[in-house]
Structure 1
Amino acid sequence: MTAEKLLFLGDSLTEGGDWAAWFPDDEVINQGVGGDTTADVIARLDDVVAADPDSVVLLIGTNDFAQRRSVEQVVRTIETIMVDLRRLLPGVRLLLQSIPPRGSDYSDRIQDANRHLRQFAATVRAQYLDLWPALATGDVLNPDFTEDGLHFTEEGYQAWLSELRPGLERLRDEPPMSRPISIIRPSESA
C-alpha cells in the first residue's frame, strides 16, 4: 500500500482522533475543528485545497443539529461541501461518513439526513461510509463509547476505526479522478 496524503475534515469528533498514530503509513492532516458546523467547513475549504490531499475523509453535521438546523439545511450544505471539493480538487478521493448517533432527541433527524447523504454521495463520485451500526445502540450513541453523549472515548474511536479502516481500503482501490465531472450545484436544481 503506497502512502497517501490523507486529510480528515470535520468537527471535534475528527479533531479528537489520533489519525497520524492510527494511519502511520500515510501523511495525515487533521482539519477537525471543535464546534464546527457545515457552514464553518465551507469557510475553510481553501485550507483543504491548499493541502492538496489524495483523499478527504469528511464527518460533519452533528453541531448543525444542535443549533436546530433542519435536515434539509444540513443535507444541502454537506452536498455543497462535496460538490465544491469535487470541483476544486477534481482528482481527490472522497469519503463521506454518516453523521454519527447522539441522543435520542436527534436520532430521527440524523438518520433522515444520512439517508439523503447516502443517495447523494455517488453523484460526486464519493464513497459513503455508514458509521451508525458500529456506533449506535438502538437510536443513541452507544454509552460505552462516550462520556457525554456526543464525544467519543477511546472505545468509541476504536469502533469508528473498525469501519473506517476497511472503508479507506475500498477508497484506495478507486483510481483518482483524472478529469472534472459536471455537477449541478444543489442550489441550481429546479
Structure 2
Amino acid sequence: MTNGEKIVFLGDSLTEGGDWQAWFPDDEVVNLGVGGDTTADVLERLDEVVQTAPDSIVLLIGTNDFGSRRSVEQVVRNVESILVDLRRLLPGVRLLLQSIMPRGSDYGDRIQDANRHLRQFAATVRAQYLDLWPALSVDGHLNPDLSDDGLHLTAAGYEAWLGELRPGLERLRDEPPMSRPISIIRLPEPR
C-alpha cells in the first residue's frame, strides 16, 4: 500500500481516542472507533465499514467483552466472524488484526488465551497479526506508566502503541492487495 490510500481504524474507545489523521497525515484516515463497543457491536456495524471502501482495515476490539464477562470462546468467535465477514464483503482489503490490549491483571490470562487463538486464525483469512503486548504490558497487565485507569491509554501509551503499529502498517503496505479468486471455466475435453 502506498501512502494516500484509505485506512479504517476500527474498534472501541482505544481506537476512538487515537489521533490517527495526525499520526498518518499522508493517508486518508477514517476513525470508526466507538467507546464501549464490544465484538458484537462491531459485527453489527460492518456495513458502515464496507461503505467507506477502505484499502486497509486496522482492527482492535475485545477488551470490553472481557469487562462484560464474555468468555474467551465468545470473544474469539466474534473476532473471527468480523474477519471472515470483512474478507467476504471486502475481498481486496488488507487486514491488520491487533492483539487485544492488556488491562488489569485479573484479565491477563484470559486475554492472552484469546490472543493465542486469534494469532493462529488471522492467517486463515489473509490478515496480518500485530502483537501489542511486548510494548504495553508489564507482568501480564497494562503498564501503569501508559494508563491512568488501567484500561485507557495516556499520550505515552499511544506512543508505545504507535511504536508497534507503524512498522506493522509498513509490513501491511508491502503486501499486494487481495483480489477475488479467479474462476476457471472448464471446457469439455475434445473427443
TM-score bin (small chain): over 0.9
Say yes or no: does 1:121 pair with 2:122.
yes
Whole-Å separation in 2 of the counterparts to 1:180 and 1:121: 19
Question: What is the CA deviation profile of residues 36-74 of structure 1, one whole-angstrom value per residue up to 9, with x for unaligned ones?
Answer: 000000011000000000000000000000000000000
Whole-Å separation in 1 of the counterparts to 2:58 and 2:181: 19
Show the counterpart of 2:185.
Answer: none
1:73-112 equivalences in 2 (<5 Å): 73-112=74-113
- Superposition CA RMSD, Å: 0.9
**For 1:13, what is the secondary structure of its paired residue?**
helix
Amino acid in structure 1 at the alignment position of 2:119? R
Say yes or no: does 1:3 pair with 2:4.
yes
Amino acid in structure 1 at the alignment position of 2:17? G
Whole-Å separation in 2 of the counterparts to 1:118 and 1:141: 19
Q: Runs of at least 4 residues of structure 1 off by over 6 A?
A: none
Query: Which consecutive unaligned segments of at least 5 residues does structure 1 have?
Result: 182-190
Contact 1:87/1:180 (CA < 8 Å) preserved in 2? no
Say yes or no: does 1:168 pair with 2:172.
no
Whole-Å separation in 2 of the counterparts to 1:23 and 1:9: 15
TM superposition shift of 1:180: 4.8
Show the counterpart of 1:52.
Answer: 53
Whole-Å separation in 2 of the counterparts to 1:43 and 1:174: 28
Question: What is the CA deviation profile of residues 81-114 of structure 1, one whole-angstrom value per residue up to 9, with x for unaligned ones?
Answer: 0000000000000000000000010000000000
Show the counterpart of 1:42.
Answer: 43
Query: Which consecutive unaligned segments of at least 5 residues does structure 2 have?
Result: 183-191
Whole-Å separation in 1 of the counterparts to 2:142 and 2:106: 12
Question: What is the CA deviation profile of residues 100-142 of structure 1, one whole-angstrom value per residue up to 9, with x for unaligned ones?
Answer: 0000100000000000000000000000000000000111100
| Larger gyration radius, structure 1 or structure 2 | 2
**Matched residues, number:** 181
Whole-Å separation in 1 of the counterparts to 2:160 and 2:12: 18
Amino acid in structure 2 at the alignment position of 1:118? R
TM superposition shift of 1:178: 1.4
